[in-house]
Amino acid sequence: MIDTLRQHWASGAVVYNAWLTIPSPWSAELLATAGFPSLTIDLQHGLIDDPTALHILHTIDQRRCPVFVRLAWNEPAAIMRALDRGAAGIIAPLINGPDDVRALVAACRFPPEGIRSYGPVRVGVAHGVAEPAAVARLPVLMPMIETAKALEQLEAIADVPGIDGLYVGPADLSLSLGLPVPVDFHAPPFRAALSQIVAVCRQRGLATGIYANPDIAADLAALGFNFITIVNDGDLIMKGAIAALRGVGAS
Amino acid sequence: MIDTLRQHWASGAVVYNAWLTIPSPWSAELLATAGFPSLTIDLQHGLIDDPTALHILHTIDQRRCPVFVRLAWNEPAAIMRALDRGAAGIIAPLINGPDDVRALVAACRFPPEGIRSYGPVRVGVAHGVAEPAAVARLPVLMPMIETAKALEQLEAIADVPGIDGLYVGPADLSLSLGLPVPVDFHAPPFRAALSQIVAVCRQRGLATGIYANPDIAADLAALGFNFITIVNDGDLIMKGAIAALRGVGAS
Amino acid sequence: MIDTLRQHWASGAVVYNAWLTIPSPWSAELLATAGFPSLTIDLQHGLIDDPTALHILHTIDQRRCPVFVRLAWNEPAAIMRALDRGAAGIIAPLINGPDDVRALVAACRFPPEGIRSYGPVRVGVAHGVAEPAAVARLPVLMPMIETAKALEQLEAIADVPGIDGLYVGPADLSLSLGLPVPVDFHAPPFRAALSQIVAVCRQRGLATGIYANPDIAADLAALGFNFITIVNDGDLIMKGAIAALRGVGAS
Amino acid sequence: MIDTLRQHWASGAVVYNAWLTIPSPWSAELLATAGFPSLTIDLQHGLIDDPTALHILHTIDQRRCPVFVRLAWNEPAAIMRALDRGAAGIIAPLINGPDDVRALVAACRFPPEGIRSYGPVRVGVAHGVAEPAAVARLPVLMPMIETAKALEQLEAIADVPGIDGLYVGPADLSLSLGLPVPVDFHAPPFRAALSQIVAVCRQRGLATGIYANPDIAADLAALGFNFITIVNDGDLIMKGAIAALRGVGAS
Amino acid sequence: MIDTLRQHWASGAVVYNAWLTIPSPWSAELLATAGFPSLTIDLQHGLIDDPTALHILHTIDQRRCPVFVRLAWNEPAAIMRALDRGAAGIIAPLINGPDDVRALVAACRFPPEGIRSYGPVRVGVAHGVAEPAAVARLPVLMPMIETAKALEQLEAIADVPGIDGLYVGPADLSLSLGLPVPVDFHAPPFRAALSQIVAVCRQRGLATGIYANPDIAADLAALGFNFITIVNDGDLIMKGAIAALRGVGAS
Amino acid sequence: MIDTLRQHWASGAVVYNAWLTIPSPWSAELLATAGFPSLTIDLQHGLIDDPTALHILHTIDQRRCPVFVRLAWNEPAAIMRALDRGAAGIIAPLINGPDDVRALVAACRFPPEGIRSYGPVRVGVAHGVAEPAAVARLPVLMPMIETAKALEQLEAIADVPGIDGLYVGPADLSLSLGLPVPVDFHAPPFRAALSQIVAVCRQRGLATGIYANPDIAADLAALGFNFITIVNDGDLIMKGAIAALRGVGAS
Ligand SMILES: [Mg+2]
Ligand SMILES: [Mg+2]
Ligand SMILES: [Mg+2]
Ligand SMILES: [Mg+2]
Ligand SMILES: [Mg+2]
Ligand SMILES: [Mg+2]
């Protein structure tokens, strides 16, 4: 299942992702049913708690739809917890340099390579592996590029062995570059940063991910992004509700 | 807050309602924030459990947005539980005749008028009332018209004192009349039933509610419905997700 | 533990009970720690949900403090669920006559005596019994006297074999008798009803319970009540909070 | 998936079932992973609450392992709730005669055949059907034979159209027949009852289920039972724990 | 709402706060209803879990009653999580010097000022702001003074820009100063420390908070404290229960 | 209760422990009922969330069965949270040297000895102590030996004052030593490490714990281990289920 994702990228395909912030497996199940090839549980800004994150993993991981976890913080206990529970990938926020990435990778690998504690309780159930090397190879690892510091050390970050791609957090990156939110994807300095990230990833065969929306998706795909978050469960409700109220002239 | 709803109807306004099936206060809070003037927790077909229903009432009832509960079954313990917890209204499914409606009303009124047990634990907090008559007058009561039997006894149902309106369940009504689901709102026999319900309500000053969607809302308002459910939280996610995937050519 | 309760009553002692409405084992544990010899989970007007009721039983039943369940409704499935989970007693609301009491008792006894399904999953753990007759004898059964109808049939109700006492719901009884809430415990017709209930219980060796408060407790004990609820967890918070704000001149 | 179950029975195979009483999707997932071809959520004597029952359905129903719900009571609201949420089958307790079975079947069928309300919220997601006739045909229906009354009306019960089999509750049946618990499966009157049930089912092409254990399973299969519950999650823990303590000489 | 709090302090008023340790929105709602102008969720010593903390924020923040979060630890992920979810203020425990305070402030401010990640998911809903500077200005920040080290660096702590006040943890401060618990508020060295903290705050226009109780509140207000926690939900239950049992002669 | 454990070890007895990974108090209660003299909540690799860990402590700690918490990470906030809630002991993972142990001990002791914040909210309820020194002395502290680094510094680790024993994590230790998982307890280098750990503990009067299984328990007891985890709740289900399916010829 996870290898399917890697093959997609290898074949040049774009993977569209849905972002989960509502604490319920039901909204997650609806997004998987709608056809999304991957989902991401947002443990940073989302309202999803720890037991519900596990329920979502329980619910989705038999559907051939890999579930990523976006961490609240790049720390080993949180990384190991997500992986033991069957997360197919990790999106790590606020990475500032190669040391942060090395810490991420080390938390996913068993000794002597890394520092991960062995206890793949749900991994065998979710992904059918238990052998340490197989367990360690499983998760798709994506450090986030969303600070000016990370941009300065972009090549060093991308050179750390063990990662599958980089994932852009546009709002944080924009603020960190002194640019506004809501993000202006067309602002030249922002666009330059995006192009640079795509280029660095391409040179190394890494996937390039970004949090986006349906309006900007085609543009970002054209720019070279191949892992694009196009919906957020809460936004779908909010935008759909506002549109419905407008449609009946009630807002 | 609830009286505002009654005043809206008295003034001829249409109230647009949002339907809750996702077990989370967050999706409910988003719909209230989007501007819906009322919400309905669906305890029948929705995936909302008892503690989450209470969390939704806790969350929404300070927002001047009345929260209805659509019961799983027209039974007194469930009615009293919803009302004690602060539900602003009750939508009672599968009503077949005036006896069912009398049972509904009796479960909302204290002795000697009815059989309700006195214990308005959250009502004072949510609506600022504790005096029995005030507590009993509070909830908006809406028996559902969704069976052929109910249609046959429509006037007797509408004549039961104490109700505020009738609420149409189109899918069940359609099946019960030997018509298909998905519902064809334009099928003459179905339309005739809707017109009959509107007429019976109008004669008695009752509100007329229906579960619908944005596409059919204007048509139903023109027909005389003034409490129209136009969105369902799960549908907003499913439809929005499918539209987004189509927009990027990924479905 | 439960027999201790019966022995207390047999010895002429008054048992003071605390009422649980907050959905948390912690508030229950505090009340048991404070020294209450029994607690009652209120599934009718309280805000306690089904999984939390179980957590409270898990938490308290090793503390030699019997936990009663006040049902939302006198129905067999709810009675059996409470008993299987380890409830030490049942307080059944809105009893109107001896048939209601016979239904209550039947739901607690196994065939051929009653209709209870055998599955004492937590009873062995909580109370150390599994043999059907012992399991059936365990719970303290208390029909509530809180309607005018029940008062009319008081002797017939009290004569139903298998019950341990009667429990008065003062607010409902007051409303049902055409008297006000808040309850006036000193109103002659109300007082007459209480005296009648105590007398009927005494003649039969039944305990006499009532929902009350600290101010009226001594008076009710003098009247002959020997199972008196004197605190409600939510009231302790509300009254204590108001007193504290008054104490600092902030209300 | 559910049809696979029906085909198994049609082909003469025995289906071994695991019984769920622990309120967690994780213990359920372990039993599905161990290889059980069906699971049953026990809402009657188990400690599983409503939201956890839904989590278990979310978790298991993509694993090609049908999940039954054993109801707390044979009532339409509970039946419809289980089916809307994706239960693959219903095991209905304490059936006393054909009227009870007709009520069960009616609660699973839409008008005009039955009284089920249309709202297959998770059924489409779990089983890929939404058309009313397909939705109604889906669940495997098994009335329980566990009272002397049911035994007396066995043929009338088995003749009600729409059921897939009968399921024996041995403890209740034993008590109801004046026999002991723990059940003596070899007691002649009990064995006679079992043989009679198997014979009645075979004549009608119905499956014959029973709650059992590994020791008695082969015997019951030889008797003709083809849906045999052999493990209960709580018992596996209790028995395994006791065996382990004995193994180290610590009990 | 939050600015109201700042205005109260600016006008010289004392704000009385209630402390939440019971994991339920209901006890929180009762305290807000009782009239408290602010509440604090104790994530350090309280028994409140992460999803319940969110439910409390959902429940209270429409009541014009700011909700503080007392962190379990002064760490950026926890600070950002509380703020994204709508906390009106942060009380940060075990601060030892100005570096700890600078870390606290940085976690609340977006780049380039701080390191906070932008994702004010519930802030717009709870407080009506989304613009980064407005979001960052919102929360009331209160480092705790409860160690001897903090007392030594009191002025340096109070000089860190961006904080609204200091909050005293008396039990920890007492132990750290070699004094006993329960705290003796009248012990000269303890009193000297309190006076010093008040003086340092006054010079800088900072609020001065403290965890206290009704008996000592007037004294502390006289000393200059203007944010005084006078009740704790669990204590209200425990003390009220003991008083009630004493009142009936049962303890 | 905890002192009983220390006395057991002092008397030369072996304590057999059960490991909890299923998020339910019910499976924990079954293991305590089965006779285990101690339980451990695994917050690292188990699927137990924070509120369920509290429910387990609520449930078990009146049963004279001490409940340990195995931390997800050796960090002070997590240690203090477990202790405040009534954990009888701490098993700290991935200890690499004496500094890690000193940090563990400091987080359990109040100033001036350590850095623990005073707030023993449930400790008084669970263990009957509130006085700081008594509270601090209570928990059984067990650093884990499961890395090559820890083995190198074994004596220095064991010499840190305040610990009660060392606990071996065999899988991690095996991987860290370049040996396989599943662990080969008989491999000479692994066995040498175990012997060394036992010897170092014995010299200092420390208990020696290890995560094991029933098959190897006698061997490990003979080697000198006196705190041996012999069952894991999830394994009991998985192994029992597979054995049952094999027993009926269905796997
Ligand atoms: Mg970001
Ligand atoms: Mg309907
Ligand atoms: Mg009552
Ligand atoms: Mg049965
Ligand atoms: Mg403190
Ligand atoms: Mg380990």
Chains that touch F (3 or more CB pairs under 8 A): A, C, D, E
What pLDDT, on the 0 to 100 scale, is given for residue F59? 94
Q: Rounded distance, CA C182 to CA C179, Å?
A: 9
Q: How far is F41 from chain E (nearest CA, A)?
A: 17
Q: How far is A119 from chain B (nearest CA, A)?
A: 31
- The sign of the CA dihedral F2, F4, F9, F10 is positive
Distances from the Cα of F222 to the Cα of B33, F13, F14, F183, F217, angstroms: 66, 12, 10, 18, 9
Q: Rounded distance, CA A166 to CA A201, Å?
A: 7
Residue C45: active-site member = yes
Q: Which tokens hold the place of B141?
A: 């009561």
Model pLDDT for residues B160-188, shown as the tens digit of each residue: 999 999 999 999 999 999 999 999 999 99
For strands B227-232 and B207-211, give the pairing: parallel
Given a cut of 80, is residue B116 above it in pLDDT? yes
Tell me which residues of chain F have a C-beta less than 8 Å from any C-beta of chain E: 49-51, 54, 76-77, 80-81, 84-85, 110-112, 115, 117-119, 121-122, 132
Other beta carbons within 10 angstroms of residue F64's beta carbon come to: 11
Model pLDDT for residues D213-242, shown as the tens digit of each residue: 999 999 999 999 999 999 999 999 999 999
Q: How far is C125 from chain E (nearest CA, A)?
A: 26
Given a cut of 90, is residue C251 above it in pLDDT? no
DSSP for D72-130? SS--HHHHHHHHHTT-SEEEE-S--SHHHHHHHHHHHS-TTTS-PPP--TTHHHHHS--
Chain D interface test: which of A24, A49, A58, A84 (most D C-beta within 10 Å) = A58
Cβ–Cβ < 8 Å for B197, B154? yes
**Residue in this structure with the two tokens 């350590």, named with its chain if needed:** F114
Angle between helices F233-247 and F25-34 in degrees, nearest 10: 80
Residues of chain E with Cβ-Cβ distance to B63 below 8 Å are: 62
Chains that touch D (3 or more CB pairs under 8 A): A, B, C, F
Q: Rounded distance, CA C163 to CA E249, Å?
A: 28
* A181: DSSP letter: S
Q: Rounded distance, CA E208 to CA E78, Å?
A: 23
| SS3 label, residue F93 | coil
What pLDDT, on the 0 to 100 scale, is given for residue D47? 98
What pLDDT, on the 0 to 100 scale, is given for residue C38? 97
Chains A and F touch (3+ CB pairs under 8 A): yes
Largest CA distance in chain C: 64
Model pLDDT for residues F52-66, shown as the tens digit of each residue: 999 999 999 777 899
Given a cut of 70, is residue A69 above it in pLDDT? yes
Nearest CA in chain A to E84: A45
Nearest CA in chain D to F49: D24
Cis peptide before A143 (omega within 30 of 0): no
What pLDDT, on the 0 to 100 scale, is given for residue C250? 87
Chain E interface test: which of C26, C31, C48, C215 (most E C-beta within 10 Å) = C26
Q: What is the pLDDT along chain E (251 residues), one digit of tens a residue?
A: 678 899 999 999 999 999 999 999 999 999 999 999 999 999 999 999 999 999 999 999 877 899 999 999 999 999 999 999 999 999 999 999 999 999 999 999 999 999 999 999 899 888 889 999 999 999 999 999 999 999 999 999 999 999 999 999 999 999 999 999 999 999 999 999 999 999 999 999 999 999 999 999 999 999 999 999 999 999 999 999 999 999 999 87
Residues of chain C with Cβ-Cβ distance to E18 below 8 Å are: 241
- Nearest CB among C45, C73, C176 relative to B119 is that of C45
What pLDDT, on the 0 to 100 scale, is given for residue C1? 67
What pLDDT, on the 0 to 100 scale, is given for residue E1? 67
Q: Rounded distance, CA B64 to CA B62, Å?
A: 6
What's the gap in Å between D94 CA and the centre of ligand 4? 7
Nearest CA in chain F to A76: F73
Q: Rounded distance, CA D161 to CA D66, Å?
A: 22
Chain C interface test: which of B59, B109, B118, B122 (most C C-beta within 10 Å) = B118
Q: A1 pLDDT band (50/70/90 cuts)? A: low
- Nearest CB among F30, F33, F59 relative to C59 is that of F59
Identify the helix (H) or strand (E) that includes residue C207.
Answer: strand C207-211
Q: Rounded distance, CA F89 to CA F92, Å?
A: 10
Domains, chain A, ordered by start:
2-247 (3.20.20.60)
A201/E126: higher pLDDT: A201
What pLDDT, on the 0 to 100 scale, is given for residue F1? 67
% of chain C residues with pLDDT over 90: 93
Average confidence (pLDDT) over F69-88: 98
Residues of chain D with Cβ-Cβ distance to A25 below 8 Å are: 55, 58
Q: F43 pLDDT band (50/70/90 cuts)? A: very high
**Residue in this structure with the two tokens 């365990």, named with its chain if needed:** C138
Tell me which residues of chain F have a C-beta less than 8 Å from any C-beta of chain C: 25-26, 29-30, 33, 55, 58-59, 62-63, 122, 124-125
% of chain B residues with pLDDT over 90: 93
Question: Do residue E125 and residue B33 have CB atoms under 8 angstroms apart?
Answer: yes
DSSP for chain E? -HHHHHHHHHTTPPEEEEEE-SS-HHHHHHHHHHT-SEEEEESSSS---HHHHHHHHHHHTTTT--EEEE-SS--HHHHHHHHHTT-SEEEE-S--SHHHHHHHHHHHS-TTT--PPP--TTHHHHHS--SHHHHHH-SEEEEEE-SHHHHHTHHHHHTSTT--EEEE-HHHHHHHTT--SS--TTSHHHHHHHHHHHHHHHHHT-EEEEE--HHHHHHHHHHT--EEEEEEHHHHHHHHHHHHHHHTT--
Average confidence (pLDDT) over D63-74: 94
Chain E interface test: which of B33, B36, B58 (most E C-beta within 10 Å) = B58
* Ligand with an atom nearest the CA of residue D91: 4
Q: Rounded distance, CA F93 to CA F144, Å?
A: 5
* Ligand with an atom nearest the CA of residue F91: 6
Question: Do residue B240 and residue A231 have CB atoms under 8 angstroms apart?
Answer: yes
Distances from the Cα of A137 to the Cα of A15, A113, D179, F222, angstroms: 20, 12, 59, 38
Model pLDDT for residues D147-168, shown as the tens digit of each residue: 999 999 999 999 999 999 999 9
Cβ–Cβ < 8 Å for A90, A140? yes
Given a cut of 70, is residue F103 above it in pLDDT? yes
E126/B152: higher pLDDT: B152
Q: Which tokens hold the place of C29?
A: 């544990």
Largest CA distance in chain F: 64
What pLDDT, on the 0 to 100 scale, is given for residue F64? 82
Cβ–Cβ < 8 Å for F151, F196? yes
Nearest by Cα to C198 from C170, C218, C178, C226 = C226
Question: Do residue E118 and residue A52 have CB atoms under 8 angstroms apart?
Answer: no
Chains F and C touch (3+ CB pairs under 8 A): yes
Q: F250 pLDDT band (50/70/90 cuts)? A: confident
DSSP for D203-231? HHT-EEEEE--HHHHHHHHHHT--EEEEE
What pLDDT, on the 0 to 100 scale, is given for residue E11? 95
Nearest by Cα to E28 from E4, E2, E63, E1 = E63
Q: How far is A86 from chain F (nearest CA, A)?
A: 11
Dihedral angle over CA of E158, E162, E165, E167, nearest 10: -80
What pLDDT, on the 0 to 100 scale, is given for residue E95? 98
Q: Rounded distance, CA A57 to CA D25, Å?
A: 11
Given a cut of 90, is residue B251 above it in pLDDT? no
Q: Rounded distance, CA B50 to CA B58, Å?
A: 13
Question: Do residue C51 and residue D51 have CB atoms under 8 angstroms apart?
Answer: yes
Other beta carbons within 10 angstroms of residue A251's beta carbon come to: 14
What pLDDT, on the 0 to 100 scale, is given for residue A63? 77
Cβ–Cβ < 8 Å for D179, D187? yes
Question: Do residue F94 and residue A115 have CB atoms under 8 angstroms apart?
Answer: yes
Given a cut of 90, is residue C62 above it in pLDDT? no
Nearest CA in chain B to D131: B181
Q: Which residue among B8, B45, B55, B58 is the active-site one? A: B45
Question: Do residue E58 and residue B125 have CB atoms under 8 angstroms apart?
Answer: no
* Ligand with an atom nearest the CA of residue E116: 1
DSSP for C5-63? HHHHHHTTPPEEEEEE-SS-HHHHHHHHHHT-SEEEEESSSS---HHHHHHHHHHHTTT
Average confidence (pLDDT) over C231-242: 98
What pLDDT, on the 0 to 100 scale, is given for residue A62? 74
Identify the helix (H) or strand (E) that includes residue E17.
Answer: strand E15-20
Question: Do residue F58 and residue C58 have CB atoms under 8 angstroms apart?
Answer: yes
Given a cut of 80, is residue C160 above it in pLDDT? yes
Model pLDDT for residues C114-135, shown as the tens digit of each residue: 999 999 989 988 888 999 999 9
Question: Do residue E23 and residue F77 have CB atoms under 8 angstroms apart?
Answer: no
Chains that touch B (3 or more CB pairs under 8 A): A, C, D, E
Cis peptide before E111 (omega within 30 of 0): no
Which residues are placed with Cβ below 5 angstroms of ligand 3, an ion? B 117; C 146, 169, 172
Model pLDDT for residues F154-181, shown as the tens digit of each residue: 999 999 999 999 999 999 999 999 999 9
What pLDDT, on the 0 to 100 scale, is given for residue B155? 98
Output the average pLDDT for chain D.
96
What pLDDT, on the 0 to 100 scale, is given for residue D1? 67
Q: Rounded distance, CA D31 to CA D20, Å?
A: 9
Residues of chain F with Cβ-Cβ distance to A121 below 8 Å are: 21, 45-47, 234
Average confidence (pLDDT) over C78-99: 98
